[in-house]
Each structure stands twice: as C-alpha cells, then as structure tokens.
Structure 1
Amino acid sequence: MSSLDPAVPAAAPRLAAADAPRQDSPSSAARSRPPRWLGLLLPLALLAAVEAVVRAGWMPAHLLPPPSAIVRTLGELFERGLGAHLLASTLRVAAGFALGAGLAVPLGALVGLSARAEALIDPAFQALRAIPSLAWVPLLLLWLGIDEGAKVALIAIGAFFPVYMGVASGLRDVDRKLIEVARMSGLGGPALVRRVLLPAALPAVMTGLRNGLSLAWMFMVAAELIAATRGLGYLLTDGRETGRADIVLAAIVLLALLGKLSDGGMAALERRWLAWRDTLETRR
C-alpha cells in the first residue's frame, strides 16, 4: 500500500486540472471575433447589385441612379458647398441631443428612484411619447417661428424619450439584492448611487443614449423641413422638388454615414465605460 502512496498526490493535480474551467487564451479569443470588414460585405453586395440592375436596363436610371452616379453627384455637391450642409445638420443634432438628453437624464433618474414621482410624471410622458414627430411641427412654428429654435426643439423632443426611458428603466430594474447588500455594508445616499445604482443601470442608460442619438438624426430631417435653407433635410427637399433622385439618394447616404459614425462613437464610449462587465461580447 505504501508503494501506491506517491501516486496519490500526483493524481490529485491531474484531477484538479481536469475539473478546472477552461480559460481561453487572448489569442483564441481574438481568433473567434469576426473581422470588422465583415460588415461591409452586405452593403457592397447591395451596391453592386443596384449598379448591375440599372446598367442592364431593368430599372430606369432617373428613378434609381446607380451608385457610380451618386458618387459623381456627391462630388458636384462638395464643389457647391456640401460641407456647409453637413455642418448645419451636425450642429442641429448636437444641440438638440444635448438639450433632450440633458433634460431626460435627471427626470429619468427621478422617476426611476421614486415611486411617487413615477406615478406623478410617467403617465404624462408616456402619452407625449406616442405623439408623432410631425404633429409637433405646427405647434413649434407657432411658438418659436421658423428660426433655429424650432428645429433644435423638435430634435430635442425626439432625443428626450429614448434617453428618459433608458435611465428610468435602468434604475428601476436594479436588483433589489444588490441594494440590500450595499446597505448592509454601510453604503447609503450618494455612495449607494455612485457605487451600486449607477453601474447597475449604466447598460440601460447607454442603450437609451444611443437610441436617442439615432432618433435625433431622424427628427433632424423633419426639423429641416421647417423652412431650412441648408442641411441634409434641405437637400432631400431640393432633390424632390427638382426631380433629382441622385441628390435624394446622396443625402440619404450621407445621413446613413453620419448616423453610423455618431453611433460608433457612442458604442466606443459604451465599451470603455462598461469594460468591467463579464458578458458574451467581452469574452468573444
């Protein structure tokens, strides 16, 4: 029996190693992550298909200009001052989003943390959220005229509700056990908010901010229909009135690119602020 004793300690580490959870190396995690260029395949395939369909004569070019014609139109627009239109639309979105999100964050926090505030405020906001964007236009024209104030206010309305919903639901849905453990540890007041409530609610808050920014770009188009003389919404109107489908599609492409760039920036900020999470995304 004594001759078998040395084998026991040797077998124990092998069993422990077999039972231990497998840790993927950083290189294997990097290999499992899809390449970034993979997202370009579908848009490029769609553009190639449209180019082929129009060149084959299956679709009139004046109704659906090929991508090559849209690129030429973008070059012409740049020569005619497209930068001013891009800057005007971007500044309106930035101002409207800042105003809408700046109001939505404290109100959403109040509703999320207080049941009384939720009963008082939330029903009215839910009713206002159901109003279509264009329904606000006549009222804003009466109140603020046709200047920048009406446009920024409409964009702020569009950005407000997604951010408000994200903040309120994020704080309202924090696990009660986390709060009880924090209070047992002596946390309370601002420390409880900073160390427990805010980290737990931050994923929902960031989702609300990203949705609010996307809606800000959508509402910007409606806002620039209010007697705008520059901006991507103005280009859409100008292309429709002159029968230039290439200008309309060029403006749509620019809206898609600007929306994607702004959302990508917000997504990068989200990854940085939420790097502590142990999620499927962070393990891939």
Structure 2
Amino acid sequence: MAMTVELSTLEQAENAARPAPSGRLRRWARPALGLLLPVGLALVWELVVWLGLSNGRLVPPPSKIFATIVELARSGELARHIVATLTRVFVGFGLGVVAGTLLGAVSGYWGPARRLLDPTVQALRAIPSIAWVPLFILWLGIFETSKVALIAVGVFFPVYLGVMGAILSVDRNIVEVGRTFRLSGPAMIRRILLPAVLPAYVVALRVGLGLGWMFVVAAEFMGASEGLGYLLIDGQQLGKPAQILAAIVIFAILGKTTDWLIEIAFAPLLRWQDAFGRQGGAA
C-alpha cells in the first residue's frame, strides 16, 4: 500500500514537471507572433503587385526577391558573401567587446581611471563612423584589417558605456554588504559586481552587435570584392533593386539570428532575475 502511494506521488510529480500543452503552444506562439508583421507586409505588397496596382520595378515583390536569393545561392555567390561578412563581423565584434569590456570595467571600478579615460572616449564616440573610413584606409590599407578595425570601433563604444554605467549604478548597499563580510577585491567583483552588472552587460552586447552589423556595411564600402555590402553596391551600380533588397533581407535575418544567439547564450546566467519582463503577461 505504501509503495502504491509512493508510485502515485511520483507520477503526479512527473506530470507536474511536464510542460502543459498550452505552455508549449505559448512558447512557439510568441516567436511566431514576431513574424506576423513582416510576413503580413510582404503578402500585402505581393498582392499589390499581382493586382497591377504597382509595377514593382523599384520595389520588387517578395517572390522576385526570393527568386534572386535562390539564384545567388545556386551560383555559390551567396555563401561566399555571407561567410565574408560574418567573418568580419565576428572578428570585429570580438575585438570591440574585449576592449570595451576591459576599459569599461576599469573606468567604472576605479575613479582616477574614469576621470582620465572617459572624457577622451566620449569625445571619440561623437565622431561619425564614416569619418574613420579615410583614416583607416590611410593607416591600414583597403584590405581586411581596416574593415575589422572599423567594426571594432562601432562595437567598442556601446560595450564600454554599458559596462561602465552598469558598475556605477550598482546599489551601494549591496557593496556595503560585501565589505561587511570582508570580501577581497576579486571576491567582491565575482560575487557582488558581476551578477549586478550582467543584465546591463547583455544589453550592451546586443547594442554593440547591432552597431557591428551597421558598421560592416560601411566597412564593405571600402573597396570590398565580396560580402553583403558588396552585393548592395553591385546591385546599385547595375540597377538591380531585387538584389539590393535581397542583401537587406539577409542582413536582417543574420542580425536577428546573432542577437537571438546572444540571448540564448546568456539566458542560463540570468535565471535568477525576477524582472517584470519575465512575467507571462508582460512577455
């Protein structure tokens, strides 16, 4: 009898642990909802062109854009351009994140460093991205080094500001608790500052990645012979609006995918948050 009760309890626990069908449906419905607007607009424009209300010459319908993407994929050009752009973004993003994280952490944690570095960084941040292009070409040439450097500059500033601002906004009471327990400097950073800074750091990474995708277009305007930015220029010069829009669509897909990967990568580290956005009704 006791064994029967225990087995029944275990079954109930297992059933409770399994996600309900409505929970599974909600989990898939939320990402699908984000596709509703772009897919709806695409279908509307396809219908407008099909009905003859527009000739679709300057703004081709989605079917023509999709056909252009398929054609580029079959010829092997699309894979080559995507790999070139992704390589530049990943290398530039990595360099920008490392530099921004280190300098932002130093400026946020140490007052004299902030007073020394921050005015110069803020002045450099005000320089338009296109102004760096001739300087990097003069210093580094027109090949990959100058392109990666430009992307790294775009990524650096939001990461630097995000890290420094997050450290400066840490609740003083939490720091005082760490001092009460006589935590050493490394222990204070690991157990107090890092958990407090991490949510803002993830946001800074996502902003930096978005700017990295923006800066890669400017970088690939600097004499590139491959990359999605090159597809944009080639489509403009040859009068191919479908190719231009195809490159823009691929940029959007890759940008959203990489942003989603950052969210997924840091999600396990942010499970402790009891934030408004994690509530079912607010999500």
Q: TM-score, normalised by structure 1?
A: 0.88
Which of 147, 152, 156 does residue 156 from structure 1 map onto? 152
* 2:134 counterpart of 1:138: yes
Amino acid at match of 2:248: I
Q: Quick check: 74-83 or 238-247, which moved more?
A: 74-83
State the match for 2:124 in structure 1: 128
1:59 and 2:54 aligned: yes
Aligned pairs for 1:28-43 within 5 A: 30=23, 35-43=30-38
**Matched AA of 1:42:** L
Shift in CA distance, 164/28, structure 1 to aligned 2, threshold 3 Å: farther
Distance 1:29 1:131 in 2: 51
C-alpha separation in 1, matches of 2:36 and 2:120: 44
Percent of pairs with identical residues: 49
Question: Who is 2:12 aligned against?
Answer: none
Gaps of 5+ in 2: 1-18
Select between 35-44 and 215-224 the one with higher mean Cα deviation: 35-44
Describe how 1:7-156 pairs up with structure 2 within 5 A. Answer: 30=23, 35-80=30-75, 81-156=77-152
Equivalent residue pairs, number: 260
Runs of 4+ in 1 over 6 A off after TM superposition: none
Structure 2 distance, partners of 1:278, 1:67, is: 41
In the alignment, is the contact (CA less than 8 A) between 1:29 and 1:283 conserved in 2? no
Between 30-39 and 162-171, report the one with greater CA deviation: 30-39
**Structure 2 match to 1:8:** none
Determine the structure 2 residue equivalent to 1:6: none
C-alpha root-mean-square deviation of aligned residues, in Å?
Answer: 1.8
Shift in Å, 1:55: 2.1
Counterpart in the other structure of 1:177: 173
C-alpha deviations, 1:199-251, integer Å up to 9, x for none?
00111111111111111011000000011000000000000000000000000
Bigger shift: 217-226 or 116-125?
Answer: 116-125
C-alpha distance in 2, partners of 1:240/1:59? 21
Task: Give the deviation of 1:27 after TM superposition.
Answer: 5.5
Match of 1:273 among 269, 274, 277: 269
What is the match of residue 20 of structure 1? none
What residue number does 1:187 align with?
183
Between 1:26-35 and 1:230-239, the stretch displaced more is 26-35
Cα distance in 1 between the residues matched to 2:253 and 2:260: 10
